[in-house]
Structure 1
Amino acid sequence: MAKHGARSMVAALALVAGGAACAEDVPAPGTLLDRVVASHQLRVGLPGDYKPFGVQDPATGAFSGLDVDLTTGLAHALGAEPVFVKTSWPTLMADFAAGRFDVLAGGVSVTLDRQRAGFFSVPTDVDGKAAIARCADAAKYDGLDAIDRPEVRVAVNPGGTNERFDRAHLHAAQIVLFPDNRTIFREVAEGRADVMITDGVETRLQQKLNPGLCAIHPDRPFDRSEKAWLLPRDIAFKLFVDQYIHGKQLDGSYAAAVKAWLD
């Protein structure tokens, strides 16, 4: 029995050694950072409907915006070219889970449920939800209590943190879903809705683009949140992206880009 046991042990060790040798013969899959560098392509997911972060031209399909410029710079820092992939707020996380892109950008707010799916970069912005209304009516909607009334129609784009905020904080107001975030502010400007609640940076921009609309205290938002880029769970890639963003913030080019797009 002892000899038989010894022979079995030798055979088992030989199998393990053989398996190890085979494993060494097969190169390990590289990190996402390695794959982007090797492929010379960085796939960037964008909802494409959120100024100033990223908007898709419906006629040409081209993307423009703050995050478009910055992720293009990230791609070039990796020796790659950006490939912009259209997603939407309702399908954002399903597309991310399906591996359709390497970076999810375009004005994404940091939330714990999104954090479970991947790594967020260092924050690119700190903001919060604020209201925007027709200038003639802005004084009427000076707070959430004034907005949360049965006669008030609150426009919201579905699937993102704007809808989540409205559902959590508005219980009497009429929440009116409007699917096109690029034109939703016309609903307020033309009187088909009374208020929209969105990120303060967007209210500041939209009051410039729509002279009849006024941002309501964007410097005193209803809450605070951060924006960042959502990345697959690859620590080497995250560290590179974080350093890229940090460098842009450190040398002032991020702030300059924000100012350019807001102006």
Structure 2
Amino acid sequence: MAAGANALPALIALRIEGTIDRWPDRKKRSHGGNPNARQPCAYAMEQEQQMRMGGTSRYMLTAALLFAALVPGGAARAEKRALRFGLTGDYPPFAEQRPDGSLQGADIDMARQIARTMGRPAEFVLTSWSTLPGDFAAGRFDIAIGGLTVTPERAALGTFSLTLLDDGKRPLALCRNQTRYKTLADIDRPGVNVQINRGPAIAQLAGQWLHRANLVVNRDDETLTARLLDGSVDVWITDGVVVDRIARQSHGRLCATTATPFNHVAKAWLIRNDPRLIGQVNKHLAKALRSGDWAAAVQAH
């Protein structure tokens, strides 16, 4: 099988060469009124050369197509370019950039596995939440990952993958205050300092939910947990997956006050509108969801 496959390019080349060398004689043209009529041989040779050159180009293209179609791996080699993933790198457990510049997270693990399954290198392109839509539309990456919430605005740019996580906003507080801030009614009271992180979505929701509590917008991701621990704020409302992660890592100091989210959102990847790529990505994600590999990756990060 391998020997036959290796012989195909040579056979194609011989076939092309033989076809051009046996190019049929052209019908003689009338040279009446032609300035080259007094040199019929030179004129005919020039015309024959031009036709040979045109034929060569056509047959070279045919050779390339035959090689890709017939030689095992020929077409696949055209798909070896890097599979590009866009991410903000600031949303654990999905995707986080470490101080040394390396990346970690459940989405990073899945992206590398998918690229490896497809036989393509994985390339990660950093963006920001504000520039992500424009970067995706401009084709800077093939798939946007890293904890994207499904929204109509993003869905208009591409195709969302299978839902990876059903989530929603929930409160996080000191464990000793766990029973005090279980509902929005418990939280939205005068004198309660409620922290939210940067981003337009949570700010809009907080404006709808909170009217009497003191709303604190903290744009410094590094101090979000610290401000809860030192008592600067009483409650932090954020994504449930983040609440559970921080609670696990706090060694009993911080707790989720409820398992019921205040709203419901879906997390997924945004894929460029390529049916083949969409099918490949969803096939891998479906397998990871069924096997529990996705849930394990979220827990690990």
TM-score range, shorter chain: 0.7 to 0.9
Whole-angstrom CA distance in 1 between matches of 2:78 and 2:109: 19
The Cα shift of 1:237 comes to 1.7
Partner of 1:100: 140
- Range with greater deviation from structure 2 (64-73 or 131-140): 131-140
The alignment partner of 1:73 has SS state of helix
Give the aligned residue type for 1:52.
P
Partner of 1:229: 269
1:114 to 151, 154, 159: 154
Partner of 1:50: 91
- Range with greater deviation from structure 2 (125-134 or 151-160): 151-160
Which consecutive residues of structure 2, in runs of 5 or more, have no partner in the other structure? 1-60, 62-74
Higher relative contact order (CA 8 A, sep 6+): 1
The Cα shift of 1:79 comes to 1.3
Whole-angstrom CA distance in 2 between matches of 1:56 and 1:184: 17
Structure 1 residues 182 and 48: CA distance shift in structure 2, 3 A: farther
Structure 1 residues 88 and 147: CA distance shift in structure 2, 3 A: farther
The Cα shift of 1:118 comes to 1.8
Per-residue displacement from partner, 1:155-194 (whole Å, max 9, x unpaired)?
A: 2222254334323322333332222335422222222222
Partner of 2:208: 168
The number of residues matched between the two structures is 228
Superposed, 1:132-171 pairs within 5 Å as 132-159=172-199, 161-171=201-211
Partner of 2:20: none
Whole-angstrom CA distance in 2 between matches of 1:230 and 1:170: 31
The Cα shift of 1:76 comes to 0.9
- 1:199 matched to 2:270: no
Q: Judge conservation of contact 1:47–1:88 (CA < 8 Å) in 2.
A: yes
| Greater Rg over alpha carbons, structure | 2
Whole-angstrom CA distance in 1 between matches of 2:119 and 2:81: 6
The Cα shift of 1:36 comes to 11
Whole-angstrom CA distance in 1 between matches of 2:76 and 2:196: 38
- 1:178 matched to 2:208: no
Partner of 2:81: 40
The Cα shift of 1:250 comes to 2.6
Per-residue displacement from partner, 1:197-245 (whole Å, max 9, x unpaired)?
A: 1222211110122232111112x11122211001122222212211111
| TM-score, L = length of structure 1 | 0.77
Give the aligned residue type for 1:134.
L
The Cα shift of 1:80 comes to 1.5
Partner of 2:254: 213
2:280 to 240, 245, 250: 240
Superposed, 1:2-81 pairs within 5 Å as 38-58=79-99, 60-81=100-121
Q: Judge conservation of contact 2:80–2:119 (CA < 8 Å) in 1.
A: no
Per-residue displacement from partner, 1:47-82 (whole Å, max 9, x unpaired)?
A: 212221111112x11110111100111111221222
Whole-angstrom CA distance in 2 between matches of 1:49 and 1:187: 19
Partner of 1:17: none
Whole-angstrom CA distance in 2 between matches of 1:223 and 1:206: 20
Whole-angstrom CA distance in 1 between matches of 2:101 and 2:188: 38
The alignment partner of 1:140 has SS state of coil
Whole-angstrom CA distance in 1 between matches of 2:138 and 2:192: 39
Structure 1 residues 89 and 195: CA distance shift in structure 2, 3 A: farther
Compute the RMSD of aligned alpha carbons: 2.5
- Range with greater deviation from structure 2 (44-53 or 67-76): 44-53
Q: Judge conservation of contact 2:197–2:224 (CA < 8 Å) in 1.
A: yes
**Runs of 4+ off more than 4 Å:** 34-37
Per-residue displacement from partner, 1:113-156 (whole Å, max 9, x unpaired)?
A: 22122211011111221110122223221111222234222222
Give the aligned residue type for 2:155.
Q
- Range with greater deviation from structure 2 (128-137 or 89-98): 89-98
- Range with greater deviation from structure 2 (126-135 or 86-95): 86-95
Structure 1 residues 46 and 150: CA distance shift in structure 2, 3 A: farther
The alignment partner of 1:99 has SS state of coil
Structure 1 residues 92 and 184: CA distance shift in structure 2, 3 A: farther
